[in-house]
Amino acid sequence: MSGTSLDGVDAVLLELAAGAPQVLGHVQLPMPEALRAEFLALNQPGPDELHRAQRAGLELAALYAQAVAQLLHRSGVEPAQVVAIGAHGQTVRHRPELGYTLQLGAPAWLAEHCGITVVADFRSRDIAAGGQGAPLVPAFHRAVFGRAGADLAVLNLGGIANLSLLFADGRVLGFDCGPANALLDSWAQRHLGQPFDAHGAWAAGGQVLPGLLRLLLDEPYLAAPAPKSTGRDHFDLAWLQHRLQGFSEARPRDVQATLAQMVAHSIANDLQRHLARPGELLVCGGGVANRDLLRRLGEALGAWRIVDTGQRGLPPQQVEAAAFAWLAARAVDGQPGNLAAVTGARGPRVLGAIYPA
């Protein structure tokens, strides 16, 4: 898995037998800075896009192959023992309202060089069936974290924040809340020259700008009903700069603090809108390391219990990669991977294109 934050690649080795899925190993590789910059550039129109996209996809596939090799070596597992690789690919465009989504990653190359069947392109079939193509992880969250008779929420703090709401009666709702690390990281990179604000320390020393916060929270997407999904196509620096036009004197650090407050409040608003009583919120994704963001979220939620998924058996940085391994297994077995109530698709669909070893 390489997500919207573009910070690296996470690979897990997942065993699916009787009982809960078991992670046998985990590898994390950093995203090379030049490749990260190219993916960010490919989120916008530019020259020679087709060639650049294919080259970037091949480079990412090589990074995936490196992660697979390291993971199998550390785990003492041979390629022939692995049923499939679930390779999400790097999203560079996500436009379900126009009928398409695009993840780069060269899965045929990956299958050829790893000698393992690859499942990729998980989102397109759901979109073809009228869905958003995202989020796809709520079905996995239900399988791993769901508890009969108890309401529970799972929050992934990636480039985009997405929620899975697991209701006591078995219903599942899931959607993208809005931006999380994507805007925080981009603003930090512009003003600190660092890929991210480590632990949210820079934001923690800033002051929230109430007028800017109101303007950010007035974004129509945040109030739109589910099903809904979003990405860098919508929430990018251009989106932020447009809203900063009346705040030319604002200190960059205060803008960062206001962005963090906006993320926390948008998530809290969604939770309080859909769940009548405070409960348990499991958090995962790279944003779990942002102590300032979690503090703001805790203040916004009040009586909610915020627990990282590691305390429920799956470390935060492994959850999303494990989810796509699980979805790959569903595809190989011919089982549906989406939840139509989450994505808005016309019904359950087998997700993914299969590239045999």
Residue pLDDT, tens place only, 50-106: 999 999 999 999 999 999 999 999 999 999 999 999 999 999 999 999 999 999 999
pLDDT the model gives residue 269 = 96
For CA atoms 192, 198, 200, 202, the dihedral sign is negative
In a domain, 68, yes or no: yes
Are 92 and 207 in the same domain? Answer: no
pLDDT the model gives residue 25 = 97
Q: Does residue 117 register a pLDDT over 80?
A: yes
In a domain, 121, yes or no: yes
pLDDT the model gives residue 15 = 96
In a domain, 2, yes or no: no
Are 161 and 102 in the same domain? Answer: no
**Which of these, 104, 83, 77, 132, lies nearest to 2 by C-alpha position?**
104
CATH number of the domain to which 339 belongs? 3.30.420.40
pLDDT the model gives residue 19 = 73
Are 196 and 289 in the same domain? Answer: yes
Are 312 and 174 in the same domain? Answer: yes
Q: Does residue 334 register a pLDDT over 90?
A: yes
Residue range 108-123: mean pLDDT, rounded? 98
In a domain, 1, yes or no: no
Question: Average pLDDT over the chain, rounded to whole?
Answer: 96
In a domain, 217, yes or no: yes
Are 159 and 127 in the same domain? Answer: no
Give the 3-state secondary structure of residue 160: strand
Give the 3-state secondary structure of residue 102: strand
pLDDT the model gives residue 232 = 92
Are 224 and 147 in the same domain? Answer: yes
Q: Between 293 and 20, where is the model more confident? A: 293
The pair of structure tokens assigned to 64 is 């995936």
Structure confidence at residue 149 as a pLDDT band (50, 70, 90): confident
In a domain, 249, yes or no: yes
Structure confidence at residue 17 as a pLDDT band (50, 70, 90): confident
In a domain, 229, yes or no: yes
Q: What is the pLDDT of residues 210-249, one digit of tens each?
A: 999 999 999 999 999 999 999 999 999 999 999 999 999 9
Using CA atoms, how far apart are residues 294 and 133, in angstroms rounded to an integer?
Answer: 28
Count of structural domains, the chain = 2
Cis peptide bond N-terminal to 135, omega within 30: yes
Are 165 and 308 in the same domain? Answer: yes
Are 19 and 111 in the same domain? Answer: yes
pLDDT the model gives residue 31 = 95
- How many other β-carbons are positioned within 10 Å of the β-carbon of residue 276? 8
Q: Does residue 297 register a pLDDT over 90?
A: yes
In a domain, 3, yes or no: no
Are 244 and 122 in the same domain? Answer: no
Are 107 and 170 in the same domain? Answer: no
Are 98 and 200 in the same domain? Answer: no
Structure confidence at residue 20 as a pLDDT band (50, 70, 90): confident
Are 70 and 213 in the same domain? Answer: no
Residues 6+ apart with CB under 8 A from 91: 4, 101, 102, 103, 231, 232
Q: Does residue 18 register a pLDDT over 80?
A: no
Structural domain harbouring 78 = 8-132+317-355
